[in-house]
Amino acid sequence: MNKLIFKLFYCKACFGLFILIFIAFLTGCADITGKAVKQIQEINKQPEAYFCPRDDCSKIFENNIKSANFSVHCAFYDIDLKNIITALARKSKTADVKIVTDSSNYEDQIKGEGLRLDDDKQLMHNKFCVIDNSIVITGSFNPTDNDNNYNNNNVVVIYSNTLAGNYGNEFNELWSGKFGKGNNVNNPIVYINNMKIENYFCPEDKCASHIINLIKNAESSIYFMSFSFTNEEIADALIMKSDLDVRGIFDSSQSSSKFSQFKRLQEFGIKVKKDSNKYKMHHKVFIIDNQTVVTGSFNPTLSADTKNDENLLIIHDKKIANDFLKEFDSLWA
């Protein structure tokens, strides 16, 4: 009798577990903590990548600002390009235009009710715009004369209501005066035309951990371009993968700083070099296995991971990866 009861209970438990797994499959997947992660699918235009100064990155922002129908919300660490400032001013007459910028770079470039400054307790280091709640423009590019015409930078344009919602929520936090650690991103994973894109904000989403996981799971190659690289844990992850093709480019002005990982990586046999641009190599990029790209405002530093307002974008796509590989190869040569 006891065996029969046990068997019945066991079968019911198995059936219940099967139902739970089936429901999880239908609604999304679960991470290792059991927390459900939504699998959002969108059909939209393909993401685009641009590289300054080869491309006129300011025009990407300017054209999208001009074509906005009802809203332009931007978070810029720095801004001084006249064409961008003019486009924002003109658009503010017909649309909701709001700008958040870091106070350390503010020199009365923009004035009015549509401007907020950060609170000086950390860097508001983001570089992104959300257009009409449907387009996100981000990358390493600040709309400044130096970043557009002299420094090496990237700009990515993504057409996605979901990602625009993520960046819109982040912008609203900044606009409300909530700098530093905020709310975790609502929808960290979205598929656009079956292209997987991940999106995180620092410090709340622990950006460094996502880069480390990508490095740990790399199978053939890891290439990176970093303006500032002082994070020891990310460097440790690279060293553990030294049997792969691992190469990195550092900005020459930052490579000799006190906490730079340049010499340490070099000592462990990682192929690293200093850029040859007499201005700045301003990228914050990792390219994994020629098929995944990490970009955004996030430098691999402790401050970026634990203190500053930053954003991180991970794009799993061979075409986008190939675009970034061409940029890497041009700087490595």
Q: How many alpha carbons lie under 13 Å from residue 237 in its C-beta half-sphere? A: 19
| 181 is a catalytic site residue | no
Question: In sequence order, what are the residues at sequence separation of 6 or more whose Cβ sits closer than 8 angstroms to the Cβ of residue 167?
Answer: 128, 130, 136, 138, 199, 311
Q: Residue 310: helix, strand or coil by DSSP?
A: strand
Q: Are 65 and 72 in contact (CB under 8 A)?
A: yes
Enter the DSSP assignment of 104: G
Q: Are 47 and 317 in contact (CB under 8 A)?
A: yes
| 284 is a catalytic site residue | yes
| 289 is a catalytic site residue | yes
Q: Which of 125, 127, 283, 284 is catalytic?
A: 284
The 10 Å Cβ neighbour count of residue 8 is 10
265 vs 191: CA distance, rounded Å: 35
- Cα angle: 229, vertex 294, 124; to 5 degrees: 65
- Cα angle: 202, vertex 206, 211; to 5 degrees: 105
Q: Residue 92: helix, strand or coil by DSSP?
A: coil
309 vs 298: CA distance, rounded Å: 9
Q: Which of 282, 283, 307, 316 is catalytic?
A: 282
The torsion defined by the Cα of 224, 227, 230 and 232, in degrees rounded to 10, comes to -10
Query: Residue ranges of the alpha helices (H) in the chain?
Result: 2-27, 57-67, 82-91, 145-149, 161-175, 207-216, 232-240, 262-267, 302-306, 318-332
Q: Which of 80, 102, 118, 289 is catalytic?
A: 289
Q: Return the active site residues.
A: 282, 284, 289
